[in-house]
Amino acid sequence: MADSGNSYAAPAFDLAIETCLRQGTLFRLQWEWVDLDKHLIRIPLSARGAENKGVPAALPLSIKAHLVLQSLHPVDENGALQAEPFGPVLATTPSAVRCIWKQVLPLLGIKNLRWHDLRHGAASHLFEKGLHPFEDASITGHKSTQMLKRYTPLKPESLIAKLG
């Protein structure tokens, strides 16, 4: 994706995996919401919506998500980081990234991978890191553990070490 000509395609992919954000929320992210010093994204209520799809008010950033955001941070005419950038974090459209996505996946031999599958994988990865289901839900925005369970099936093999 880095060679696609769209400099936001690879970062969008990385941020989708690292933040668990749905595509719509990811592409609405604004620099005003990003606090790189505190490793947080604070999503205002007006951007979270009232629908059933939960979006966290504050999203903690992994080290990789933080690095990706730093790499996207706007610079001024002298190449210095802008103190308070404004506007979208990903200055591209979901359809532009989706177009690249559809071109790259066959080249990698990947079939039937949807963008939303990145969210499934990211939620599973949070459990693999040892997060409690409530901690996982605070990042993914799932409102019930039943819904989170659907996205994150537990593997019996992963329980063997815990059982002793």
Of the ranges 23-37, 44-58, 87-101, the best mean pLDDT one: 23-37
H-assigned helices in 1-155: 9-19, 23-26, 45-48, 63-72, 94-107, 115-128, 133-140, 145-151
Lookup: tokens for 73: 């941070």
Angle at alpha carbon of residue 22, lines to 18 and 27, rounded to 5°? 90
* Distance in Å from the first CA to the final CA of the chain: 43
Measure the CA–CA gap between 46 and 19, rounded to whole angstroms: 19
**Mean pLDDT across 145-149:** 77
Structural domains of the chain, with CATH = 9-163 (1.10.443.10)
pLDDT tens for 78-91 read 777 677 778 889 98
